[in-house]
Amino acid sequence: MSTRSVPFGDLAREYAAIRAEIDAALGAVLARGRFVLGEEGEAFEREFAAWLGVEHAVGCASGTEAIALALLALGVGAGDEVVLPANTCVPTAAGIWMTGARPVPADVEPGTLLLDPAAVRRAVGPRTKAIVPVHLYGAPADLGALAELGIPLVEDCAQAHGARYGGRLVGTFGTLACFSFYPSKNLGAYGDAGAVTTADPRLAERLRMLRHYGQRTRDVHELEGLNSRLDEVQAAILRVKLRYLDGWNGRRREIAELYARELRGVELPQVTPGG
């Protein structure tokens, strides 16, 4: 019997398909000579927020730091607890550790492998300041049930650019939502990059300060911030790729449906009702 290896993703092939646009975007950045907090980053933030249907997007250096910045914007710190799914990738917990808070894992539902609202309810305590529902494998967590707990939700959308819950894109439900643009993501940069989204203008302003050493204006530092800016090169690449994302996601769904048909009889993860 012959076997054939099928790669999950071929980034070189993806680049070849959009090479002219990527090269032109990079050339424009190099010609301007501004590489941090410039017009490409501002444009990507506007375009990504518009694509999601949310008021504010704040670019940052990675998905891990997006988690940290979102929690810091909420005032989470030492002595606090943050609930997250027990099977999430370690960067989710790392973002919590960066604030000084304690990650509290909660079990997942056996069918969806996503955060179980009943397990979260048991994990919540007097020090719980936030819940981080992680939308894994392109599938949304049960945001409706989690919202009923009355604790701020910080969505981790690192694996779910374009996933929907109740007809709305994930990243628009929580008090804040975090995205990774690591190269392997379906919207990926050519290095590390991330973003935080929110409908709250005060949180957006706080995020912009926190990612830039805590300063509102040059050399006036009001918060204990980080160095976590989305650079112009990655922003330019993401702007090009964002135009293709809906089409790429559609093709991924077609391929997933093909696998589901051909793997009849194999128990596959379920999708959250409404997702």
Report the predicted TM-score, pTM, of the whole model to 2 decimal places: 0.94
Whether residue 105 is predicted with pLDDT greater than 70 in this model: the reply is yes
Q: What percent of the chain has pLDDT over 70?
A: 99
128-172 per-position pLDDT tens digit: 999 999 999 999 999 999 999 999 999 999 999 999 999 999 999
pLDDT category at 238 given cuts 50, 70, 90 is very high
Query: How much is the pLDDT for 108?
Result: 97
CA 19 to chain centre: 25
- CA separation, residue 46 to residues 42, 54, 59, 215 (Å): 6, 10, 10, 21
Contacts of 98 (CB under 8 A, 6+ apart): 64, 65, 67, 68
Strand partners, 131: 83, 153
**Mean pLDDT calculated for residue range 119-134:** 98
**Mean pLDDT calculated for residue range 93-106:** 98
Closest by alpha carbon to 145, among 117, 166, 107, 171? Answer: 117
Structural domains of the chain in order of their starting residue, each with its CATH number: 11-262 (3.40.640.10)
**Mean pLDDT calculated for residue range 22-34:** 98
pLDDT category at 275 given cuts 50, 70, 90 is confident
29-74 per-position pLDDT tens digit: 999 999 999 999 999 999 999 999 999 999 999 999 999 999 999 9
Whether residue 264 is predicted with pLDDT greater than 90 in this model: the reply is no
Query: How much is the pLDDT for 2?
Result: 65
**Mean pLDDT calculated for residue range 7-14:** 87
184-233 per-position pLDDT tens digit: 999 999 999 999 999 999 999 999 999 999 999 888 999 999 999 999 99
Task: Go through 243-257 and write b for each residue having 16 or more CB atoms within 10 A of its CB, e for each that does not.
Answer: eebeeebeeeeeeee
